[in-house]
Amino acid sequence: MTQMTFYTHPQSRGRIARWMLEEVGADYEVRVMDFDGNIKSPEFLQLNPMGKVPALVHGDTVITELAAICAYLADQFPGKGLAPAVDSPLRGCYYRWLFFVAGPVEIAMSAKTYNWRIDDDNASSVGCGKTGDTADTLERAVAGESYLCGDRFTAADLLLASYLAFEMQVTKTLEPRPAFVNYVERCQAREAATRANALDDALPQAAAG
């Protein structure tokens, strides 16, 4: 398989994409971007006009959104079992949670962080509804000892566990409900997660801004 080029920054969602790359065992080259420099360069803006990371280049294919990167890698490495088979009844469940994280969860957590007004007057027109409803939905989804789509860890779990950990531990916008804590601990105990964190933590401090 052609080597991939991974554009990232150690203080970004790139850490999640790195975990996914390590889960599938991809052969990839890392290019660390500088928030005050080359991330807005003409060369990088040709890849991602948003000037944001992560971005992944595989041959002539450019993937820029985190959920898309996770889904793409899961499909490129089917033997790793990080996505249900296309003809599996669980495929729909997998899609549901991938896009729930990319949509309602992302919006709800941003709304809490920046104090955006979401109330009875406008909740029905906002993708996440009331932020509390999003959190309650996630709690029901991860309660117990299974994963989002049964007993097998998938890319959707990797994505959600990463978001939950960040919102509980860094921004503090999500209360550490026992179901969330248990779920995150189980997911982040995976060897690939530990390896990915060590790789990002070892990047030069200058790269971290």
117-136 average pLDDT score:
84
Asked, for residue 71, whether it belongs to a domain, the answer is: yes
Residue 54, pLDDT above cutoff 70: yes
Are 70 and 121 members of one domain? no
Residue 209 clears pLDDT 60, i.e. is over it: no
CB atoms within 10 A of CB 177: 17
Do 179 and 98 lie in one domain? The reply is yes
Same domain, 141 and 109: yes
What CATH code is carried by the domain that includes residue 118? 1.20.1050.10
Q: Does residue 123 register a pLDDT over 70?
A: yes
pLDDT at 205: 58
**pLDDT exceeds 80 at position 81:** yes
Counted residue by residue, the chain has a size of 209
User: Does any domain span residue 180?
Assistant: yes
63: left (phi over 0), alpha (psi -120 to 50) or beta: beta
- Which residue range(s) make up the domain with 72? 4-81
Picking from 81, 100, 129, the residue at the C-terminal end of a domain is 81
Exposure of 124 by Cβ count < 10 A (0-12 exposed, 13-18 middle, 19+ buried)? exposed
Give the pLDDT mean for 114-129: 82
Q: Is residue 198 part of a domain?
A: no
What are the tokens at 41?
């360069």
Query: Would you say residue 173 lies in a domain?
Result: yes
| Same domain (yes/no): 67, 21 | yes
Per-residue model confidence (pLDDT) at position 207: 53
16 located within any domain: yes
On whether both 58 and 113 belong to a single domain, the answer is no
Please state, rounded to an integer, the average pLDDT across all residues of the chain. Answer: 93
**Stretch 31-60: mean pLDDT:** 96
Is pLDDT of 122 > 90? no
Asked whether residue 187 falls in the same domain as residue 97, the answer is yes
Strand pairing category for 61-63 and 55-58: antiparallel
55 located within any domain: yes
Residue 152 and residue 181 share a domain: yes
Residue 61 lies in a domain: yes
pLDDT of residue 124: 80
